[in-house]
Structure formats: structure tokens, C-alpha cells
Amino acid sequence: MMQRPSQGYYADINVTNLVDVVLVLLIIFMITAPMLHSGIEVNLPKTKASTKDLGEGIVVTIDKTGKIYLDDRVVSLSRFSSRLSDLKRQKPAGTVYLKADREVQYGLVVDVIGRIKSLGITDLGLVSEPSR
């Protein structure tokens, strides 16, 4: 009886497909990551104690024209309290972050802060840029 030569198995892993998928995912994340940031452009005031990185919470933005945004949606000052109250019920995170352009009138900012405080929200963060 003649023995057949044993056939060895090729035990190498082909990673070409894995590399292709990883590179495509990397490109997708590189394109979409800048879009995750808030789209409202404001010129924030500069301070030594910066609070630019936002955590979980509701973002209230006031641009230089005086428009008020609740999480990137325009809201009038008269409907601000009711919309913020509705949004607070939807998002249980208790923090509200206020981003106001440095050219906005001080009275408008104080009015918005007063409306936020009147809803019983005590955790209010004022967002600024670091001074250089």
C-alpha cells in the first residue's frame, strides 16, 4: 500500500477584505465627524476658564442677530419657555448650555437666563472660548 502524501493546510488569514472595510469606515467617520457638531455659528466670548466641550444636555444658542435656537431649531422669545419645557421632558439630562455671541445685547442674554431659571433649571453652563 502506498501512502498518499499528506496535504498541508494553509493556515494564514487573509486580511485584505478586513483592511478594505476598515478603511471605508475610517473615511465615513472622517467625513461625518465634523457634522456632529452644532451647526450654528457664534462668536463666543473669550475667558481664561473655558467651557467649550459640552456634555449631555440642551444647548440654547443666541446668534449675533438675536435669534434664539434650542438644539439647532429657531424659537421665538415668547415661545421659548414652553419649547424648553417640552424639550426638557424629552431629554432627561438636567444641564442646559447657553452659547451666546459676544455681540448679543446683555439684556437679551439675561432675559433668556431668567426664563431658564424660572423653569426650575439650576444646572446652567455658560459656554465660552479659551483666551489666548
Domain membership of residue 95 (yes or no) is: yes
pLDDT score at 32: 81
User: For residues 67 and 99, is the Cβ–Cβ distance under 8 A?
Assistant: no
Q: How is residue 65 written as a grid cell?
A: 442677530
Domain membership of residue 106 (yes or no) is: yes
How far separated are the first and last CA of the chain, in Å rounded?
Answer: 87
pLDDT score at 39: 63
Domain membership of residue 11 (yes or no) is: no
Q: CATH code at 54?
A: 3.30.420.270
Domain membership of residue 59 (yes or no) is: yes
- Domain count across the chain: 1
User: For residues 47 and 132, is the Cβ–Cβ distance under 8 A?
Assistant: no
β-pair partners for 96: 58, 124
- Range of the structural domain that residue 86 is part of: 46-130
What averages of pLDDT result for each successive group of 10 residues across the chain (132 residues)? 65 85 92 69 71 72 90 89 88 83 90 91 84 72
